[in-house]
Amino acid sequence: MLEVGMKAPDFTLADKDGNMVSLSDFAGKRVVLYFYPKDNTPGCTRQACAFARTYEDYRDLDVPVIGISKDSVASHLKFAQKYELPFVLLADPDLQAIQAYDVWKEKKLYGKVSMGVVRTTYVIDPQGNIEKVMPKVKPDTNADEILAYLKGEAQ
């Protein structure tokens, strides 16, 4: 797991429209970077919709929200259209950012062990350093918790 104060690994990935987006494109701004397992699954949909619901608040704070999973560009496009997601979704099928941010982990479900993305959120500061790490976040409360943190209302 990356830690507070470390330099955030830069990456360049395709968004839902096929445009290449780099973390360095947002230099000088705080950025919310959230990693999630899979488009159109119950938890990931609730988490994305929570970020969509609070998106105006993030925009008012001038803090971009970026969601990353290993799904394809086409999957992200359908997901964003279906749920009217206004923020950036990046496709990482080669696990470039997912592994750089150390969120590709062994997971156990019903006794079965497999590798997958552990739902994790990072806040990157304007200098490109990790300001906050939230590992194993809950999909229903993550967007509000990060927003409260950014507003100085929570640790």
Q: Output Rg (C-alpha) for the chain, integer angstroms.
A: 14
49 part of the active site:
no
The amino acid occupying position 118 is V
Given the residues 31, 44, 103, 124, the one annotated as active site: 44
**Cβ–Cβ under 8 Å, residues 115 and 107:** yes
The tokens describing 60, both together, are 């008012």
Helix orientation angle between 42-53 and 73-83, rounded to the nearest 10 degrees? 60
Q: Cβ(30)–Cβ(125) under 8 Å?
A: yes
Return the H-helix or E-strand segment holding 98. Answer: helix 96-100
Joined tokens for residue 85: 């997601």
- Number of H helices and number of E strands within the chain? 5, 9
Q: Which residues are catalytic?
A: 44
